[in-house]
Amino acid sequence: MTDRLKALADAGVSIWLDDLSRERLRSGNLAQLITDSHVVGVTTNPTIFASALADGAAYDEQVRELAARGASVEDAIREITVADVQQACDVFSGTWERTGGVDGRVSLEVDPGLARDTEGTVAQALDLWKAVDRPNLLVKIPATEAGLPAIASAIAEGVSVNVTLIFSVERYRAVMGAYLDGLERAAANGHQLAGIVSVASFFVSRVDSEIDKRLEAIGTDEALALRGKAAVANSRLAYAAFTEVFSGPRWEALAAQGAKVQRPLWASTGVKNPDYSDTLYVTELVVADTVNTMPEKTLQAFADHGEVHGDRVTGTAAEAQQVFDAVAAVGVDLTDVFLVLEDEGVDKFEKSWAELGETVRGQLDGAR
């Protein structure tokens, strides 16, 4: 079964798991996925941590200890998540060394409530970087307008960053610009650029979910024929922007100092519409120098029946643009689509963070 995943990895796609729990760490499941399923990184978010804490007894001992010393909910969340991420970073240390720091990465998110707070985001990003104290950490910062200068400032301080919640190519270009700004400032600050890594998490399935809903509301044959096409087209346009930005004199000057490209990371690749292939957002986005972070269900589906047909992205920008032109022509307001997706993304993460807080509060109260 893993031959399919090997083919995906051999095509230049880094396979990251979109999940982490202490149970995975203790049982050896994560280590097994590295060995058997070509997994070379992990991403987390508040929903993942809330789910992990709600299931099983792996956190009981730490929760009892935190309760005994009167830890606040905020401090408990921090200590629990930092401990999991530290352990995961250690599990991936061999991958990190083998890939020269490109892979073997584990992501930990700043408080989503800071998504509109530049200074607060920078302060927490630096705090998490120091608290985890592992060179293969990625601090997740959202690509909101307030997040853009925070990304540059974190990079300038030598922090490796996973930029999350990117939906539009326009915002993605701004993210890449922030990365380059940050690298130039990092060099001026005396940081070794070779030690700084960043990925840009470009969300996939949610784009189809929002645009398909609007196409169905329009209801014409032309509109309905476009369902399920926008997300892949959007991602292909993003990759074209990536190849454009990471070329030319400005990038070459940074590369000469050891800088690494900020790879596109295809996020939200679990298919939400059961009418679509469950490996759609993996198969159609195969191209070198990318990451695909998958929920385990998608990973298993690809291992079972996924197919690698070679590079499905390079040279497809014109065709992808035709899809977007057609979507706009039937009446979908794309500017509004991306605004809605970003606002919903921040809102969902804030709600998940609140749920995580309630879960931890309940466990602390129970332990007391």
Question: Does residue 211 contact residue 230 with C-beta atoms inside 8 Å?
Answer: yes
Question: Amino acid identity, residue 28?
Answer: G
Using alpha carbons only, give the angle 97, 137, 239 rounded to the nearest 5 degrees. Answer: 85
Q: Which one from 140, 260, 297, 351 is the annotated catalytic residue?
A: 140
CB-count burial class (<10 Å; 0-12, 13-18, 19+) for 13: buried
How many other β-carbons are positioned within 10 Å of the β-carbon of residue 304? 11
Using alpha carbons only, give the angle 212, 207, 278 rounded to the nearest 5 degrees. Answer: 80
Residues paired with 142 in a beta bridge: 164
260 is catalytic: no
Task: Please give the distance of CA 324 from its chain centroid, rounded to a whole number.
Answer: 24
Please tell me the distance from the alpha carbon of residue 255 to that of residue 259, in angstroms, as a whole number: 5
CA distances from 202 to 114, 162, 163 (A): 20, 11, 9
Question: Does residue 45 contact residue 349 with C-beta atoms inside 8 Å?
Answer: yes
3-state helix, strand, coil split of the chain in percent (to 5) is 60, 10, 30
Task: Please give the positions annotated as active site.
Answer: 140
